Homo-oligomer: A and B are copies of this chain.
Amino acid sequence: MNAAVLTIGDELLQGFTIDTNSSWLGTTLLPYNIKISKKVAIGDNLNDIISETQYILNDKFDLLFVTGGLGPTHDDITKEAFRQFLDDELIFDESYYTQLIHHFEKRSIKMPESNRSQAMLLKTADVIPNENGTALGMHILIKDTHTFIMPGVPGEMKSMVKNHILPKYIKKSPVENSITIKTAGIMESHLAEKVNGLMENYSHSYRYAFLPHYSGVSFRINKLNKIDNLQDVKDEFYKAMLPYAYGINNDTLEKVLGLKLIKNNYTIATAESCTGGLIGKRLTDTAGSSEYFLGSVTAYSNQLKSSLLNIPNDIINTLGAVNEEVALKMAKGVRAKTGADIGISTTGISGPEGGTKTKPVGLVYIGVVTPEKSMVKKYNFNYGRHIHREMTTTAALNITRLAIEKN
């Protein structure tokens, strides 16, 4: 099936909001054999919405996903545009209006009068429920194009697609045409060297893409023919990418590490300096992480390094806070303080200030102490403050994963 996406909203055009909805739609719909071949973004302008919808529909797409402009304010005009385009009517839905009032009451908020507009619905449309917000979605078959009108808020749009549009209108089971192998701890070009031979071998029936991020390089394999066995080919690539490969598709490093901790019956705690709490945050992104994550101590000031993690003051006074010994003592300190099996620590210079000739911005030491071993690794991630913290966190999680794996 061939699909188009029409996103509506000035903020997307002016660049104040980055459109992540349409890429989510792209990857989510692909396994259902729905290929997006056109995306159009326009502003909150009635005539533009009407004329672009007309132009897109001329191309006889099977599906059209429209997002945005369903909010309660004056610039939300998507419904009015479709009313005019379809020569339809907007009908006031009394029972949904009552629901809306209850929704606000439950939150002890008086419903603003403007929200009344969210109970106005196109007469010819089927309603698509919204579990995460107040703007209902709509489905209309326009000639042969199933048109879905949804809010632009990502969480609301996604749950409409997953919980309603796919089961009710698409009714197919997803088929996997592509797999992404996730890696950490290796550069794109070095990863490519490891699999050049394999890529060559399978080039007649698979396509590949390297997707480098600061948190690791992903490698996507697309199969071209239905009959080929994607799983087997993935397994070969995966093996060639070990120990850097840690998972596939939506696996995250923190989730994979969490499963390994559970398997080993290990608890974990972090002692953070330059990462400011980000490792703890990433570890607790995973639901159920309370099973292994006990907590963390962010000792940003040197004084807290000593009072909360028992780093002797004279070490910091002599060597400074960014060195191998402090990293090791921080990891050991948080282990002792929390009783966790594994302690992770970071101490580094995220910048932009604070660098010296011997300790430049970007320098970081990561400590990992497990019941079996202690280690400190030194890196220089000099790509700006934010990336420094992201890369340090990823490296810390990955070192810990490898430390347990080798058990």
- Does A48 contact B37, Cβ atoms closer than 8 Å? yes
- Chain B residues near A39: list those with CB within 8 A: 12-13, 39-42
- Does A294 contact B284, Cβ atoms closer than 8 Å? no
The reply on A114 being an interface residue by CB < 8 A is yes
Give CA–CA (A301, B278) in the complex, Å. 18
Task: Count residues of A near B (Cβ-Cβ below 8 Å).
Answer: 103
Stretch of A77-85, A162-170, A285-293, A311-319 on the interface side: A285-293
- Chain B residues near A277: list those with CB within 8 A: 270, 272, 276-281, 284, 296, 298
Give CA–CA (A337, B383) in the complex, Å. 34
- Does A290 contact B298, Cβ atoms closer than 8 Å? no
Give the interface SS of chain A, mostly helix, strand, loop or mixed.
mixed
- Chain B residues near A308: list those with CB within 8 A: 295, 297, 337-338
A16-46 CB contact bits vs B (8 Å, 1 = yes)?
Answer: 1111101111111010000111111111110
Give CA–CA (A125, B172) in the complex, Å. 48
- Chain B residues near A385: list those with CB within 8 A: 285, 287
- Does B27 contact A14, Cβ atoms closer than 8 Å? yes
- Does A112 contact B190, Cβ atoms closer than 8 Å? yes
Write the chain B residue with the least CB distance to A27: B15
Could you list 10 A-B pairs, sorted by A, with CB under 8 Å?
A14-B220, A16-B26, A16-B180, A19-B23, A55-B55, A272-B280, A277-B298, A281-B281, A287-B352, A297-B308
